[in-house]
Structure formats: structure tokens, C-alpha cells
Structure 1
Amino acid sequence: MRLVRTLVSDADSERVVAILDEENIDYVVTPEASAREDLLVVEFPVPEQALEVVFDRFEDAGVRADSYTVVTEAKAALSENMDDIEERFVVGEEEDSSIAAEELRSQALTLLPDAFTYYLLTCLSAVVATAGLLLDAPALVVGSMVIAPLVGSALTASVGTVLASREMILDGFKTQVYGLGVAVLGAITFGFILRSGLFLPPSLRPATTAQIAQRISPGLLSLTIGVCAGAAGAVGISTGISAALVGVMIAAALIPAAAAVGIGVVWTAPTIAFGAFVLLVVNVASIHVSSVAVFWYLGYRPDQWVPDDLRANASLRRFGPSLAVGGVLLVSVVLVGGLVSTHVTFEQSANAAVEETLAQEQYEDLELVRVQSAFNPGPLSGQPQEVTVTVRGPVGQTFPEVSDRIRDRLIAETDREPVVRVEFVTSQRSPPEHS
């Protein structure tokens, strides 16, 4: 429920009252207390779903609601026609759970904390994520997502894009870029302290840690996380769902990847650093694209948008910032998406080669545990593609040719000559007891 208090001139009051009467909304009109001439205060309660309808009618009638309008949350409203209004907008034919554009703008801006809090929490979340990745502790990685305040910057930029607000676009993207930079620097600093202080065993290989391995090989599933995070954030903020819930999802797509970039730098592992960086860029772009698409689907448009008039809406003067963001995101998706597509194709070939090889009779005692294809953009990197296959087999048996057979199949199916590493996990099984 929302309580609206707006200041209108005496000349506009008749049109405002007429609109409220037509919409069957109860209202109160009082003189403006400072005794300025020809000004009246109009106050009325409405469900949040009806707010945009009323504001649109005010705008169509030539009444400017932005001269002075305050919208506050009301716990409850009792009036003669309130039951009919709620029946119409909350559960009736005009039911719509999304909030008004003005309230959406305000909601997005309130999600941006002050600079000190934002960068401090971002740095702390990156430190926790770094510890969780190195310790292979999923609980710590999840904990880092909870304290990360990245939801505000991501959604501010997306709301600014869909509403063509240059200030919101700049604030959102600037805060997000700086925040992710702080996260990477925090991960580098913390990782350097851990490594130089010998707090971790010298034998630690970050690439073999499961939590890190999941963040250095961008693929279709990684893209899905970013798309879902952006869509969930857009739905959440536009329907009044707690920002903390959608914030965790957005942080899940960004913070662990940023921490993995720092780990790759500290351990001088280009494969980790580059793969995690590509994942970070993919998730940033997919979050913004999906959230803008959801906002647009929900009916949010720039203030000067003209329905069904492409020529009027193609104005660089009015919508230049939004078009610029769209161009940057398009280039990012094309360039990074091409790298991810190449990797996904090779990953599919690797999975198929491993499956076909292990299906042979001489390898029937081997059980596949995992296939990991290190992210590699192709011949331009100058480095061979690496594939690590983990299999489980019985104690005492050796399979010396399995890596060569997998490699031969990959060479036949792709244009690369990869390095194939097969890691064996031995196991024993006691026979069942017979009674």
C-alpha cells in the first residue's frame, strides 16, 4: 500500500480530482500550509500496483507529478472505495505486481551504500571467497556471497539503461567496475600474504581445487548463472522482494570469479587468471542484458518513450546513454561469447573423446570421475590446450595408453593438439558376504 502526497496548482486540481474520481480512488485536498498562491495538497492511498496507472493518467492530462510528490509506504488504508480498488489492482483484471517507474528508480538508488561501506564489504567478501576457494570450502564461498554488496551497482546500471538515465548508468557501472577491481586486488593481496607467509602447503595446486576448477572454465552453465542472476535481480527489485535474496544470486556470479582471478595472479597461473576473468566478464554482461530484458518485458520505458514510433525513439539526444550501453554490451557478448563458444565446443569434444575411449573393452574397469578442460582461447594464446581426466580404477592395474588414445581422438575431432593428463584414483571393494 502506498500513500501519495502531491502538490498541484489550483488550475490543475480539477483535472487531478477528476482522474481520482474516475479511478474510484478516495482522496483529501487541503490548502498548502505555507500560503503560497494557488497551490493545493492532494493526498490519496493506492495499492502499489495502481501507482503507475495514476501517474500515467496525470502525465497524459498535463499534470506534472515531479514538481513535488512524496510516495510513502502505508501499512494499511481504510476508506470507502479501498475494497474495490484492491479488488481491481491486487487480485482483479488489472493485477500487476511490478512497482511504478519512479519507485523503481528510487529503489535502485537506495541499494547503493556509501563508498566506504561498499568497498570495504566488497574487499572482505573477496577475502572470504579467496579463503573458501583455496580451502575448497563451499560454505565459505557461499558466505562471501552473503556479505557482497554488488546488487546495488548491477541493478542501478540496469535500471538506468532501461530508463535512459545517464547519471544512473554512470554511477552503476563506475561503482561496479571499481568494486570488482577492489575485489580482485583484495584477493591478490590476501593470496600473496598466504603464499609468502607459508600458511598454505607448497604442494598446493589451485587448478586441482574443485572450487577453483569450477570458476576457470566458462561454459553454458556459467552463462546460465549470470542470466538467471540478472533476471532474478530485476524481478526482485521491481516486485519488492528483499534485495538481500537477489543480492546473493548476483554475488554468486561475480565474487568467486573475481577471487579466482586474484588467485591466478598470485600463483602465476595464466590459465586460472584468464579463465576466471573471462567468466567474470561473461557474467557481468549477462547480468545486465538479462535484467534489462526483464525490466523491458515488465513494461518499464524511458520517460520520453513514444510507443510504436521507432523513428522518435531512435534519438541519440534522448536515449544516447542507453544505446551506448547496448553497444558496449553487444561487443562484449560477441567477443567474449566467441571465446566461450570455442571453449564449449572443445569441451564437448573432450567429453565425447573420453567417453568413447573408456567405453572400449580394455578400460571397462575404469570409472570416470571428472573431465576438466582448461580454458584456452585457441591458437592465439600460444599455449596447448590442457585436458585433465580423473578416473577410478582397481589397485594394481595400470592403463599406460589411455591418455594417448584420448589425445588421438581429440586430434582427430578438433584442430588442436592438446596435452591430456589422466589422474588415477585407486580403490578396493570387498566382495559381499554370502550366507
Structure 2
Amino acid sequence: MLHLRLIVPSDRTDQVVGVIEKTVGTTHLVVVPGACRDPAGDLVLCDVAREAGDGLIAELRALGLDRSGAITVEEIGLSLSARAEQAEKDAPGEGADAVLWEQLQDATHEESTLSVTYVAFLTLATMIAACGVVLDNAILVVGAMAVGPEFGPLAGICTALVRRRPRLAMRSLTALVVGFAAAMALTVLFSLLMDATGLFTDGMLHGERPNTGFVYAPDWFSFVVGLLAGAAGTLSLTSAKSGALVGVAISVTTVPAAANAAVALAYGDLGQTRGSAEQLLLNLLAIVLAGTLTLLAQKSFWGWQRRRTRRAGT
């Protein structure tokens, strides 16, 4: 269930309450006249089943409530109420499958913003992966993949393509390109420093690497895994299964490929640099393709669900 807290201009309260009451899957409606001061208006509270939330939020925005008042949405961890249970039963579909587009866009906006913290995380992940590929240590590589924050901008690009938000697309693309460029450049310097101290050697990079040699040898399996991971990651963002995102992060070869490209460039190995760059681009392309197709499929499915519900209601 979702909890909505609305600040409503007094002359629009009846209209807003009417929208809430006609929405299947709402309950616990509370109206407190004159409770709000900034902006001035009435306080309206209600709970809504997650699967009905996106439609309700869209109607409230269509009334201009996001401009004249405020719409705040919170996840309800626990609700002991027979009316809430009935509201969830009445709402079409399953809550875990529902997509809250406004929430998704807001989340990807934050995750895809180029910031010092984002670049720091991506750089540290790339440096950890650099140690992993040189030492042929799969544990370090997996750890680096979990630390990397690159799925945020990738999800932002997918969302922007589906929602037709060019600003979000440009912001996400900038964060992705600049972030990886900065991380790889700093990892080249890190590799030269490690070489100067004797912790990295040319022989370690070019020796037998059965655990990490795949990062500079792209093939069709890389693309297939990228597609699967992109779909799984998108589903984890749009549903209640957010814990799956960690598994997605450690299943794609983005950060390790960037790390290997940086280390190879530091040693002048253009062959490994090129192979790693191809691996990186292949995974990024697969994730964006799968993520976009997944969002389009979800959008079509929920559109069909709403049309079916309206026909059943008439």
C-alpha cells in the first residue's frame, strides 16, 4: 500500500476528494480543513493500493495539484486494516508488478546526476576492479561490480527514452560518459603508481588469467547476459523487489572492463584496451536495450489492465 499526503487549495478539495473516491483501491480517506499554511489549504490523506497508485497520481497531477499544492507519496511497511486488504483486492493486478512512473523518474533523476559522490564511487569501484584483474582475483572483481553505481544512469536513459524526457536522457548520458572517463583516467594514474611501487607488473597483466580474462574478450554471451541483467535490473527498480539490484550489479562486466582497459592502457597494451572497451560498450548497449524494452512492455501491460478495468466498470 501507498500513503498519500496532499496539500490542496481549499477551492479544489471537493474535486480532489472526488478523484480519490472514484479510484478503485483507495481507502482511509481523511480531510483536515485549513490545516496547511505553506502553501495554505486543506490536508487530505489517503491510502491506495500500489497497483492503483500511478493512475491516481497522474489524475492528481492533471488537476495541477503538484503546482498549486503538494503530492507526497510514502510506502507503507505495515497496515493492519480489513479495509486496506479489501482495497488491495479490488485494485486490478498485483502490487509487486505495478510501476509508479513518477517515482521511477524521480529515483533515476537522483541516481543519474553527475556528482562528486557518484564519480568517487565509480572511480573506487574501477580501482578495486583493477586490482582484481591484475591479481586475477574474482572476489575483488565481484566486489567492484557491487560498488559501481553505473546502473543508475543506465536506468535513467531507459526511463527517458520511454517517457520521452530529453533532459533526463542528457543528464544520464553525461553522468555515464563523464563518470567512466574520469574513473578510467584516474585508474590509469593509479595503475602507474602501483607499477612504480612494484605492486602491479606487466607480467601480471599478460599472464594466465583464467578468472578474469573474459573482461577483454567480448562475445555473444556478454551481450546475452547484459540483456538479462538489464531486464532484471529494470524490474527490480519498478517493483518491490529492489533487493535483486545487487545481483544485477555483479552479473555485468561494465566496471571490470573499464578497469582492465585502464590498466592495459597504462602498460601500452592497445589490444587489451580495445577488447575491454568493446566489452564495456557491449554491456552498456545490452542493458539499455533490455531496460527500455522492459519498460515499454510494462507500460503496455498496465495500459491494457486499465482499459480492461474501465470496460469492466461500464
Q: What TM-score comes out, normalization by structure 1 length? A: 0.61
3-state DSSP class of the match of 2:3?
strand
Q: Cα deviations across residues 21-60 of structure 1 (Å, max 9, x unaligned)?
A: 333633112223356999433210112222013234546x
Alignment of 1:234-249 (within 5 A): 234-242=234-242, 245-247=244-246, 249=248
For residues 254 and 208 of structure 1, do their structure 2 counterparts lie closer, same or farther at Cα, with a shift above 3 Å needed?
Answer: same
Q: Distance in 2 between matches of 1:100 and 1:219?
A: 35
For residues 57 and 119 of structure 1, do their structure 2 counterparts lie closer, same or farther at Cα, with a shift above 3 Å needed?
Answer: closer
Check conservation: 1:188, 1:266, Cα contact below 8 A: yes
What amino acid is aligned across from residue 255 of structure 1 in structure 2?
V
3-state DSSP class of the match of 1:233?
helix
Alignment of 1:272-351 (within 5 A): 272-299=272-299
For residues 261 and 202 of structure 1, do their structure 2 counterparts lie closer, same or farther at Cα, with a shift above 3 Å needed?
Answer: closer
What amino acid is aligned across from residue 32 of structure 1 in structure 2?
G
Name the structure where helix makes up a greater proportion of residues: 2
Q: Distance in 2 between matches of 1:300 and 1:39?
A: 37
What amino acid is aligned across from residue 51 of structure 1 in structure 2?
G
Map of 2:42 onto structure 1: 40
Map of 1:101 onto structure 2: 101
Q: Cα deviations across residues 326-360 of structure 1 (Å, max 9, x unaligned)?
A: xxxxxxxxxxxxxxxxxxxxxxxxxxxxxxxxxxx
Q: Distance in 1 between matches of 2:259 and 2:98?
A: 35
What amino acid is aligned across from residue 221 of structure 1 in structure 2?
F
For residues 36 and 299 of structure 1, do their structure 2 counterparts lie closer, same or farther at Cα, with a shift above 3 Å needed?
Answer: same
Q: 1:214 Cα shift?
A: 0.7
What amino acid is aligned across from residue 279 of structure 2 in structure 1?
L
For residues 79 and 206 of structure 1, do their structure 2 counterparts lie closer, same or farther at Cα, with a shift above 3 Å needed?
Answer: same
Map of 1:180 onto structure 2: 180
Aligned residues: 296
For residues 169 and 34 of structure 1, do their structure 2 counterparts lie closer, same or farther at Cα, with a shift above 3 Å needed?
Answer: same
Q: 1:203 Cα shift?
A: 3.8
Check conservation: 1:163, 1:300, Cα contact below 8 A: no
Map of 2:30 onto structure 1: 28
Map of 1:420 onto structure 2: none
3-state DSSP class of the match of 2:27?
coil
Q: Which runs of 5+ in 1 are unaligned?
A: 302-306, 308-435
- Please tell me whether residue 72 in structure 1 is matched to residue 65 in structure 2: no
Map of 1:268 onto structure 2: 268
What amino acid is aligned across from residue 129 of structure 2 in structure 1?
A
Map of 1:84 onto structure 2: 86
Q: Distance in 2 between matches of 1:227 and 1:279?
A: 13
Q: 1:291 Cα shift?
A: 0.7
Q: Distance in 1 between matches of 2:102 and 2:133?
A: 41
Map of 1:147 onto structure 2: 147
3-state DSSP class of the match of 2:215?
coil
Q: Cα deviations across residues 146-195 of structure 1 (Å, max 9, x unaligned)?
A: 22122222212222222222332122111111111122123312222233
Q: 1:231 Cα shift?
A: 1.1
For residues 80 and 194 of structure 1, do their structure 2 counterparts lie closer, same or farther at Cα, with a shift above 3 Å needed?
Answer: closer
Check conservation: 1:10, 1:40, Cα contact below 8 A: yes
Q: Distance in 2 between matches of 1:273 and 1:263?
A: 8
3-state DSSP class of the match of 1:210?
coil
Check conservation: 2:122, 2:179, Cα contact below 8 A: yes
What amino acid is aligned across from residue 178 of structure 1 in structure 2?
V
Q: 1:114 Cα shift?
A: 7.3
Could you tell me the percent identity over the aligned residues? Answer: 19
Q: 1:263 Cα shift?
A: 2.1
What amino acid is aligned across from residue 69 of structure 1 in structure 2?
I
Map of 1:4 onto structure 2: 4
Q: Distance in 1 between matches of 2:205 and 2:15?
A: 72
For residues 178 and 36 of structure 1, do their structure 2 counterparts lie closer, same or farther at Cα, with a shift above 3 Å needed?
Answer: closer
Q: CA RMSD in A?
A: 2.8
Q: Distance in 2 between matches of 1:200 and 1:63?
A: 62
For residues 274 and 35 of structure 1, do their structure 2 counterparts lie closer, same or farther at Cα, with a shift above 3 Å needed?
Answer: closer
- Please tell me whether residue 49 in structure 1 is matched to residue 48 in structure 2: no
Q: Cα deviations across residues 186-220 of structure 1 (Å, max 9, x unaligned)?
A: 33122222334333455445264234421222111
Map of 1:231 onto structure 2: 231
The more displaced of 282-291 and 198-207 is 198-207
- Please tell me whether residue 117 in structure 1 is matched to residue 108 in structure 2: no
Check conservation: 1:45, 1:77, Cα contact below 8 A: no
Q: Which runs of 5+ in 2 are unaligned?
A: 302-306, 308-314
Q: Distance in 1 between matches of 2:38 and 2:147?
A: 48
Q: 1:300 Cα shift?
A: 7.4
Q: What TM-score comes out, normalization by structure 2 length? A: 0.83
